Chain A
């Protein structure tokens, strides 16, 4: 076995084993077995790093691929296989998932301390990590779908961890159902691909696409359907409604699943299927605009929210929109780069917010204030995360976001009509800086607005602050080698269809980023620095020194404020539309029943009357003579058969088994005689 194969198995097996152990005996172990989960995930992380080291450092090549597959099942003449597929993207995703997962495990020791079902929480985390690793490692669409659903299930379990809390129970169902809507589309997409190509493995599918086995409108439909899965999982408009509600789950869960890993799965999938996706310009445009709408509107909502976790939730949706847009405009490297940097700084922000909530015992930012002095580490790390997401130079978010903007600008300069994408992203970047610093100012600066909780606030234990520090370092370090992601660019090269590699290269797989013209690159960089500075400044004016009153401004633009505060009424819209639709369908069905079916029935009445008259003349005495023939003799024989039929099912089965054995024996003897 190849080393990578062994490592892949181990990476998968350890969290799964931890899950099994925790579910089985976790409650009876000392410390409720948290050390088992942490040990398992840490080892997995070590193996992930080994894979990374091997793939990226030792055997680096831009199109490094390691693939191994095993027979799975066969039907007819098709044989299905599943296996591992490791390239540079896989390697870096493994590290992202491993690092965040491990840190969240450790953080949870402090955060979940003393909770009921503590061991089960770790079990679910293990299940989630396993599913996520599987999703990253697998080499075919079907396994991807299974992992996809497993991730959904563990997310469901974790959101609903406080299942006695009504809102949490509702939220987990909502999350599951909403993402299912996307998953149905994804499944349809997979089915379409399998129907047309007969293949499941990524590479075989790509080859089939390169050979034109599926193309044109069908390919576009298949891609858009597949993307539907990403819309659900990555909380893109219009299926984003579940993510803010999912914040009902414990905060480490929000950090792990709803910021860094699971929600990025959709982006990862799009990236994985990129060679195929890029074959359909229409589909790519759909993707770009869905991403843009998401990025923009989620940012406007985040400005008005008061719940610290909801601000972060909408910010996550918005950032995911950025990644999706990046992939849509062909800035493949930038999208994945942002996925990585975002995973680190958003996990950091969530964990910081958890630390704040842990101390202040509230999630409402209006109740906080001045926490800077009480919680210096949390404050410092959260500030780093905020600077990163706002796109301030020398922090990780800057490089990645800048690359996306450059990609969008390049796309816009190529297709003038789509400059909207760049402008939308540009404005959204300003809003990002604004609402993130609003969060910082409201939480950590000014006077405390709730003296009681302020007095009780204190810095969190080391198990919580250490992960914060590590993530803070990563949030800065992730940006080194930045400016278009110099090293990352080399790490992750836009893939092309194997057989169509030359053609794809001519078309230019990458529109923006490093390959773009210089003015695009520096223009985008300058603009993004400017807009970030502007956002931060405005935020400082409003929430820092309060030259402008937030309340008065809100009152002045009240309709817009209400729209944003109520999240554009999307939830209400769904409820109204679904109900109206159902009522309408009911009416149609009732009409069908009344007109068509009743009409047929009424027609039959005259037919029946004719039939009745005809049959009246039947001579019934004909049968008389036949009846008494040999009746009594056979009646006696009948009772024997009835005795066997005693109504007891056990005896029936026994009789059948004995009879089968008798047939076997008798048959063998007959064959012998013959």
Chain B
């Protein structure tokens, strides 16, 4: 499809771009005057508009866009909505919090919107060059965002570690991409795939090396063990809103990339899912499965000794990356559906948890578990929401987390990977302990100091309710979401 016609499929991104300009403009004009904060509000309004606009995408047919450099399909449309939603929530968090200095909010919003555009492009790319460019667009912004906190020291350290680790990983990934290009001489997924399919089995070792190198880049994005080391340090140091964004949207990008790239380049459609391309014999699904088992175990065990909540949730995020990888490793459409469902669940759950941490830590000045002691007396709403989120993270009914895990394990069992299912279930049980520790602190322990008093604005409460409600709702009425996930699992090759 040509450039002009493609624009109809590009409306959310266009709205985001326009919002970037509007925010930039408002920021320049707004200056540093106190009590004058339209940039962030503009950004939020822009996200809402873009999110609403993304619903128009579902009615459009799947087709390559912009002369084949991007693609439109339900899978891409889902991720666009996902990223825009995350961005909107994060912007709202920034608006209600004081983490980002007031006069820097406009700047922050410009960056996060650009990151969001990058993410949307990642989900829709079907060209090696485009994938890399859009990944860099989101990564570079993320690095800056991680350093946006008022707490100069830790935030800067987080940002620097993020840059270094990210730079190395994407560098390795780029090397992998260049290997693929060298092997096939094409940059579009189609060209690469047909060249790989046409090649003899002699290219297998190099092809796998390329795959592994790209996997390093993806693994870093989703915080897969052993490429997760950056996550705890960065999550702890970055502003809470950014941590929430990274833990959900950045992870989502990783999965969008993993599925889009690997399934389009190294796989071909088969009965009920995908199979490795004919001349390549390697079963990389197994590799992913093993890595997913390692990832969830390391994540859950690493979370145990943590006393800082953000750090704890970082390890929990690693563990969840493991669960999600399980779904990818199956290479079935049921697996992809489960991943999509799980991501939606994870979005609401994790955002709720981080939002509570944000509100509480701003009032109490601490992110430690000990600071949450007796929270239910001072802030019953916050404590309840946090509990709900934690239940969902564990996977207890009647929360969305339970349904998400249910579908994941169902998909795994369908492929008869019993060992993986067992490890997954054991891990869920393991995770109960450290999540429950927080709940215990909130309800059963009492603060040694005075009663914790949490002050939050009505707006913050509203956002919290909007975020937490679906956790409960989808835990009870999950069918619409399952249908949606089934629709969105359609990948155009």
Tell me the A residues contacting B by CB distance below 8 Å: 74-78, 194-196, 198, 582, 585-586, 589-590, 592-593, 596-597, 600-602, 604-605, 607-608, 611-612, 615-616, 618, 620-621, 623-624, 626-627, 629-631, 634-635, 637-642, 644-645, 647, 649, 652-653, 655-657, 659-660, 663-664, 667-668, 670-671, 674
Interface string of B200-230 (1 = CB under 8 A from A): 0000010011001100100010000011011
Residues of B within 8 A of A656 (CB): 165, 168-169, 216, 220, 226-227, 229
CB-based contact A611/B127 at 8 Å: no
**B421 contacts partner chain A, Cβ-Cβ < 8 Å:** no
CB-based contact B461/A626 at 8 Å: no
Return B36 CB to nearest CB of chain A, in Å: 6
**B465 contacts partner chain A, Cβ-Cβ < 8 Å:** yes
Q: How far is the CA of A641 from the CA of B127 in the complex (A)?
A: 38
Closest to A650 in B: B164
Interface string of B271-295 (1 = CB under 8 A from A): 0000000000111101100010000
Interface string of B148-178 (1 = CB under 8 A from A): 0000000000001100110011001000000
Residues of B within 8 A of A637 (CB): 301, 304
Given the interface pairs A593-B36, A611-B381, the reply to whether A653 lies near B216 with Cβ below 8 Å is: no
**B233 contacts partner chain A, Cβ-Cβ < 8 Å:** yes
Closest to A645 in B: B232
Residues of B within 8 A of A667 (CB): 208, 212, 282, 284, 287
CB-based contact A75/B127 at 8 Å: yes
CB-based contact A635/B304 at 8 Å: yes
Closest to A583 in B: B29
Given contacts A612-B381, A645-B232, 13 further A-B contacts (CB under 8 A): A75-B129, A76-B66, A589-B26, A589-B38, A592-B41, A627-B433, A634-B430, A635-B304, A637-B304, A639-B304, A649-B164, A656-B226, A674-B283
Given the interface pairs A589-B30, A626-B432, A631-B433, the reply to whether A671 lies near B281 with Cβ below 8 Å is: yes
Closest to B30 in A: A589
CB-based contact A660/B69 at 8 Å: no
Cross-chain contact of A623 among B172, B305, B440 (Cβ < 8 A): B440
**B37 contacts partner chain A, Cβ-Cβ < 8 Å:** yes
**B142 contacts partner chain A, Cβ-Cβ < 8 Å:** no
14 A/B residue pairs, CB under 8 Å, sorted by A: A75-B67, A194-B3, A589-B26, A592-B38, A608-B461, A611-B465, A615-B384, A638-B303, A641-B301, A649-B161, A652-B161, A653-B164, A656-B216, A660-B213
Interface string of B299-319 (1 = CB under 8 A from A): 001111110000000000000
Return A145 CB to nearest CB of chain B, in Å: 18
**B481 contacts partner chain A, Cβ-Cβ < 8 Å:** no
CB-based contact B187/A74 at 8 Å: yes
Cross-chain contact of B29 among A582, A644, A652 (Cβ < 8 A): A582
CB-based contact B304/A638 at 8 Å: yes
CB-based contact B36/A76 at 8 Å: no
Interface secondary structure of B, over-half rule:
helix
Q: Which of B52-101 contact A (CB under 8 A)?
A: 64, 66-69
Return B117 CB to nearest CB of chain A, in Å: 17
CB-based contact A660/B67 at 8 Å: no
Closest to A589 in B: B38
Residues of A within 8 A of B233 (CB): 645, 647
Q: How far is the CA of A522 from the CA of B376 in the complex (A)?
A: 98
Given the interface pairs A76-B188, A589-B26, A639-B305, the reply to whether A604 lies near B229 with Cβ below 8 Å is: no
CB-based contact A618/B380 at 8 Å: yes
CB-based contact B302/A642 at 8 Å: yes
**B439 contacts partner chain A, Cβ-Cβ < 8 Å:** yes
Residues of A within 8 A of B132 (CB): none
Residues of A within 8 A of B213 (CB): 660
CB-based contact B3/A195 at 8 Å: yes
**B458 contacts partner chain A, Cβ-Cβ < 8 Å:** yes
**Closest 5 A/B residue pairs (Cβ):** A638-B304, A659-B226, A76-B69, A652-B229, A76-B67
CB-based contact A645/B283 at 8 Å: no
Q: How far is the CA of A671 from the CA of B281 in the complex (A)?
A: 9
Residues of A within 8 A of B29 (CB): 582, 585-586, 589
Q: How far is the CA of A138 from the CA of B245 in the complex (A)?
A: 46
Residues of B within 8 A of A198 (CB): 2-3, 67
Closest to B204 in A: A671
**B443 contacts partner chain A, Cβ-Cβ < 8 Å:** yes
Closest to A659 in B: B226
Tell me the B residues contacting A by CB distance below 8 Å: 2-4, 25-26, 29-31, 36-38, 41, 64, 66-69, 127, 129-130, 160-161, 164-165, 168-169, 172, 187-188, 205, 208-209, 212-213, 216, 220, 226-227, 229-230, 232-233, 281-284, 286-287, 291, 298, 301-306, 376, 380-381, 384, 387, 430, 432-433, 436-437, 439-440, 442-444, 457-459, 461-462, 465
Residues of A within 8 A of B376 (CB): 618, 620
Closest to B188 in A: A76
Closest to A616 in B: B380
Q: How far is the CA of A77 from the CA of B70 in the complex (A)?
A: 11
Q: How far is the CA of A629 from the CA of B433 in the complex (A)?
A: 7
Task: Determine which residue in B3, B30, B129, B164 has the highest number of CB atoms from chain A within 10 A of its CB, and name it.
Answer: B3
Return A44 CB to nearest CB of chain B, in Å: 35
Return A32 CB to nearest CB of chain B, in Å: 41
Residues of B within 8 A of A74 (CB): 187
Given the interface pairs A611-B465, A623-B443, the reply to whether A604 lies near B68 with Cβ below 8 Å is: no
Task: Determine which residue in B229, B291, B457 has the highest number of CB atoms from chain A within 10 A of its CB, and name it.
Answer: B229
Q: How far is the CA of A194 from the CA of B2 in the complex (A)?
A: 11
Cross-chain contact of B301 among A640, A649, A674 (Cβ < 8 A): A640
Residues of A within 8 A of B444 (CB): 620, 623-624, 627
CB-based contact B443/A604 at 8 Å: no
Return A528 CB to nearest CB of chain B, in Å: 47
Q: How far is the CA of A343 from the CA of B331 in the complex (A)?
A: 69
Given the interface pairs A615-B381, A629-B433, A652-B165, the reply to whether A590 lies near B301 with Cβ below 8 Å is: no
Given the interface pairs A623-B439, A634-B430, A652-B165, the reply to whether A195 lies near B38 with Cβ below 8 Å is: no
CB-based contact A620/B433 at 8 Å: no
Given the interface pairs A76-B69, A611-B461, A660-B212, the reply to whether A635 lies near B305 with Cβ below 8 Å is: yes
CB-based contact A76/B68 at 8 Å: yes
CB-based contact A660/B216 at 8 Å: yes
Residues of A within 8 A of B230 (CB): 649, 652
Residues of B within 8 A of A629 (CB): 432-433, 436
Q: How far is the CA of A527 from the CA of B430 in the complex (A)?
A: 98
Q: How far is the CA of A597 from the CA of B227 in the complex (A)?
A: 42
Closest to B461 in A: A608
Q: How far is the CA of A589 from the CA of B281 in the complex (A)?
A: 61
Q: How far is the CA of A81 from the CA of B147 in the complex (A)?
A: 41
Given the interface pairs A195-B3, A627-B437, the reply to whether A604 lies near B302 with Cβ below 8 Å is: no
Q: How far is the CA of A649 from the CA of B29 in the complex (A)?
A: 40
Closest to A639 in B: B305
Q: How far is the CA of A263 from the CA of B212 in the complex (A)?
A: 54
Cross-chain contact of A77 among B31, B68, B459 (Cβ < 8 A): B68
Q: How far is the CA of A141 from the CA of B304 in the complex (A)?
A: 60
Residues of B within 8 A of A582 (CB): 29
Given the interface pairs A76-B188, A615-B384, A635-B304, the reply to whether A627 lies near B440 with Cβ below 8 Å is: yes
CB-based contact A601/B437 at 8 Å: no
